Amino acid sequence: MSQKITIEPVTRVEGHGKVTIHLDDNNNVTESRFHIVEFRGFERFVQGRPYWEAPVLVQRLCGICPVSHHLAAAKALDMLVGAGTGDGLTPTGEKMRRLMHFGQIFQSHALHFFHLVSPDLLFGIDADPAIRNVIGVVLEHKDLAVQGVMMRKFGQEIIRATAGKKIHGTGAIPGGINKHLSPEDKEAFLNGPDPLNIDQMLAWSQGVLDFFKDYYSKNKSFIDEFASFPSNHLSLVRKDGALDLYHGVLRAVDSEGNKILNDVDYQDYEQYIEEEVRSWSYMKFPYLKSLGKEKGWYRVGPLARLNTCEFIPSPLAQAEFEQYKALTNGKPNNSCLHFHYARLIELLHSAEMMKELLNDPDLMEGELVTKGSKAYKGIGLLEAPRGTLFHHYEINELDQITKANLIVSTTNNNEPMNQSVNSVAHSWMDGKLEITEPMMNAVEVAIRAYDPCLSCATHALGKMPLEVSLYDANNKLIDRKRS
């Protein structure tokens, strides 16, 4: 008798996701799907609003990564005010935005690793969930947990100092930024009492990377093989091939490293990327037009970024990048759990870049805004913590937004997350009649590697637990578990 397993989150507001896994008569997995019921109302909501409101309005999308939306919208609006496509801002404008962005990346990556991933690594994904949680980490590895909290706090403080405030920050404006970095903030970030200073953040970033590498050396097959499958990878890269999280050209490589999208201007993204609609999910499935729906899907995020870039422009992260690339002989890394390794290299890079920027005099003085001639279409991309984020706006003569299209990182990773769930389902659920907690956690481990923001993808906010349900061939519920 064939069956269906469903994993379904419960949310506070509209939008939710679920996983369904179909079993055949022998209880082997035949198909699995990661559905995200996306609410697309935001694009309609901004229509008719003055374009300059967009960087603040978009923060309504999500309380998790408002800075990423704020900056991507501001980059799109740079085009509308004729300030260029990321290269045209004043040094102060661009560097303040970059500092804000690195603060966001830093706090997001720290939160994800210390408080989401480390319980699985420290205790094992099949460990008793009563222990396998962040409180378990606190009890047995308190130093790690404290570091996670303080690194997150440091990143949040960087955001406050550059964006202005935590709620609906206004730092990035069309054509630039609205303030300099204050001398007091600069001094505190550079030389504040331990642990909240940049040197401590650098040391901890290196420390957590060493922790992961030690774990990897002892658990190589697990990290290499769990939910591993070949895929394409897409991200922005700097024009010279360097990792660049704020601005660059669009590059995609296949699973062997061949360029399949060769450093194109992201203002032309519609020429290269299409979004497929599937009947069973409101969230779209982006793909490269040149390869078609079946072969054109790609991963985004830390794993993809370290597969597309050629080097990292900061010395400590570059040294780690060289070790990391050696694992796959310079070829793209297609292992799902290497997202974590890549994320920690980016964490270190972010710390290095924050230190460099904090010492840059351009943040303390200089012109804030660039002005130019009005345009009617603006597209802003950046590498958000979870991957490439697209903001596209068009306006009319009255400066009202007439069109908005957002492709968030989690949407870009839609098909890869489905592939990952499918891989885990086959490995863990073939032949099983009952959902066990380790089985459910294995599915979550695979999804968690992408650090999905269902809040962004569904345009909901906050609660995102999973529910797993098992159905027989007649869609009769025979088991259900909630995380």
Partner 1 sequence: MQILIYGYGNPGRQDDGLGIALVDRLEEWASEKELVGFEFENNYQLNIEDSEAISNKDLVIFADASEEEIDDFCLSVVDGKGKLSFTTHSASPGYIVKLCKELFQKEPHVLLLHIKGYEWEFREGISDRAKENLDKAFVYMKKVLEHPEIALESKEELKTC
Q: Which residues bind partner 1 (CB under 8 A)?
A: 9, 12-13, 41-42, 45, 57, 59-60, 63-64, 66, 111-112, 115-116, 133-135, 138-139, 142, 145-146, 148-150, 152-153, 156, 166-168, 444, 448, 451-455, 459, 461-466, 483
Is residue 74 within 8 A of residue 370, CB to CB? The reply is no
C-alpha 470: how far from its chain's center?
30
Q: Which is nearer to partner 1, 156 or 402 (CB)?
A: 156
User: Is-contact 106 151, C-beta < 8 A?
Assistant: yes
- Distance between CA 173 and CA 116 in Å, rounded? 33
Give the chain's end-to-end CA distance (angstroms, integer).
27
Question: Which of 160, 325 has the CB closer to partner 1?
Answer: 160
Question: How far are the Cα atoms of 273, 344, 403 from residue 412, in angstroms, in the given order?
Answer: 10, 21, 20
- CA-CA distances (angstroms) from residue 99 to 133, 156, 301, 355, 356? 32, 12, 19, 9, 9
| Cβ 308 to partner 1 shortest distance, Å | 25
Answer for the pair 337, 424: CB distance below 8 angstroms, yes or no: no
Name the strand (E) or helix (H) holding 281: strand 281-288
Q: In terms of CB distance, is 9 or 387 closer to partner 1?
A: 9
Residue 473 CB, shortest distance to partner 1, in Å, is 28
Residue 141 CB, shortest distance to partner 1, in Å, is 11
> Residue 408, CB half-sphere, CA atoms under 13 Å: how many?
28
Q: 175 or 452: whose CB is closer to partner 1? A: 452
Nearer to partner 1, 379 or 468 (CB): 468
Nearer to partner 1, 79 or 347 (CB): 347
Q: How far is the CB of 260 from partner 1 (least distance, A)?
A: 30
Residue closer to partner 1 by CB (options 57, 173) is 57
Q: Which is nearer to partner 1, 288 or 336 (CB)?
A: 336
Q: How far is the CB of 157 from partner 1 (least distance, A)?
A: 9
Q: Are 356 and 317 in contact (CB under 8 A)?
A: no
How many CB atoms lie under 10 A from the CB of residue 205? Answer: 26
> Six-digit token pair at 235?
């991200």
In eight-state DSSP terms, residue 113 is I
- What is the rounded CA–CA span in Å between residue 318 and residue 341? 13
Report phi then psi at 227, rounded to 5.
50, 45
Minimum separation from the CB atom of position 83 to partner 1 (A): 26
Q: State the helix-helix crossing angle for 315-326 and 338-358, rounded to 10 degrees.
A: 160
The conformation of residue 268, written as its DSSP 8-state character, comes to: G
Nearest Cα neighbor of 439 from 1, 5, 123 is: 5
CB of 127 to partner 1, least distance (A): 16
Among the listed residues 76, 93, 90, 78, the one whose alpha carbon sits nearest the alpha carbon of residue 162 = 93
Q: In the complex, what is the shortest distance from the CB of residue 281 to partner 1, in angstroms, rounded to a whole number?
A: 18
The nearest distance, CB 298 to partner 1, in angstroms, is 22
Nearer to partner 1, 16 or 97 (CB): 16
- Residue 337 and residue 52: Cα distance in Å, rounded? 40
Q: Which is nearer to partner 1, 12 or 289 (CB)?
A: 12
Q: How far is the CB of 375 from partner 1 (least distance, A)?
A: 26
Residue 57 or 250: the one with the smaller Cβ distance to partner 1 is: 57
Name which of 345, 340, 341, 339 is nearest 318 in CA terms. 345
CB contact at 8 A, 410 and 450: yes
**Cβ atoms within 10 Å of 483's Cβ, excluding its own:** 15
As measured in angstroms, the least distance from the Cβ of 38 to partner 1 is 14
Nearer to partner 1, 11 or 307 (CB): 11
Q: Identify whether the C-beta of residue 336 lies closer than 8 Å to the C-beta of residue 228.
A: yes
Report, in Å, the least distance between residue 145 CB and partner 1: 6
Nearest approach, Cβ of residue 108 and partner 1 (Å): 9
CB of 90 or CB of 350, closer to partner 1: 350
Measure the CA–CA gap between 400 and 8, rounded to whole angstroms. Answer: 38
Report the C-alpha gap between 343 and 454 in whole angstroms: 19
